[in-house]
Amino acid sequence: MGRLDNKTAVVTGAATGIGKATVKLFAQEGARVICADVDEEDVRKTVEGINTNGGQAESYALDVSEQESVRVFANYVEETYGTIDVLFNNAGVDEEGGKVHEYPVDLFDQIISVDLRGTFLVSKYLLPLMFENGGSIINTSSMSGQAADLDRSGYNAAKGGITNFTRAMAIDYARQGIRVNAVSPGTIETPLVDELAGTKKEEEGREFREAQKWVTPIGRLGKPEEIASAALFLASDESSFITGEDLTVDGGLTAYTWPGKMLMDNSWKETTK
């Protein structure tokens, strides 16, 4: 406890899933947390829960893909808090779009706009609030930014861009005491997974989870709290000599080149039951 005492943190995509788990953990560790999300109602509920439990948080309705909205948000944060210590660029969307020749242009633009452009815009306008005292920026990338997925080229492009954008910022601001890292989750049990693959109550969702369990060396999906813990490490002084890093938290899924024997060895699948 207390790893973020007296620090001010901004988290985007804070209403549900990884963002919700992270703002709760940041608050437990002593941070004042500004919770931004396009879903005004859900982010308000998240903040109410934090404050009820003795934390310090406020909600802000924000579309990270809208430049003027982000600029106004940054002005508000500066006027209210003066400086910030932590920025977690977590807002993102994902959806299958088919092969590239059939991929809807509108969908590609939406994913790039929210995931990659949103990370750029929020960083651009909030970075100056770290110039005085330094700070830590964490960007949510993905294992899908390191390798490709079938029918999700827009998401792959956005997350791959975030990973290298993270390195660029790390170089740009290292001498100003600002560290910039990414966290790359594997498949995490979140509402986004429910939307993409189906819920645990749906047959399609159950089949997806069983497939993920046996192909992931640790044998299960990740939890939002596990990504929050990684973000906390990167936000805290415990990672004071780490910058430009992409921390993969995927249960070992990207540790191998291809499933190989796992496809043929039923005993491997049985170990997840």
pLDDT in tens, 42-96: 999 999 999 999 999 999 999 999 999 999 999 999 999 999 999 999 999 999 9
Q: Which two tokens stand for residue 217?
A: 């060396």
- Domain 8-190+223-257 is of which CATH architecture? 3-Layer(aba) Sandwich (3.40)
- Block mean pLDDT (10 aa), the chain, length 273: 95 97 98 98 98 97 98 98 98 95 98 98 98 98 95 97 98 98 95 82 87 90 97 98 98 89 79 74
> CA angle at residue 28 from 26 to 32, to 5 degrees?
55
Q: Which two tokens stand for residue 187?
A: 């498949």
Active site residue 155: yes
pLDDT of residue 208: 87
pLDDT of residue 272: 74
Q: What is the pTM (predicted TM-score) of this model?
A: 0.94
pLDDT of residue 268: 78
Q: How far is CA 39 from CA 36, 44, 84, in A?
A: 9, 9, 23
Q: How far is CA 142 from CA 3, 92, 182, 220, in A?
A: 25, 11, 9, 17
pLDDT of residue 205: 86
Q: Alpha-carbon distance 174 to 79, whole Å?
A: 25
Q: What are residue 135's DSSP bridge partners? A: 178
Q: How far is CA 11 from CA 35, 84, 134, 155, 271, in A?
A: 5, 11, 17, 21, 37
pLDDT in tens, 16-29: 999 999 999 999 99
Catalytic residue selected from 60, 155, 173, 256: 155
How much helix, strand and coil, in percent to the nearest 5, is found in the chain? 50, 15, 35
pLDDT of residue 252: 95
Q: Which two tokens stand for residue 126?
A: 């909030």
Q: Alpha-carbon distance 273 to 77, whole Å?
A: 48
Q: Alpha-carbon distance 243 to 229, whole Å?
A: 17
Domain segments of the chain as ranges: 8-190+223-257
DSSP state of 216: S
Residue type, 234: L
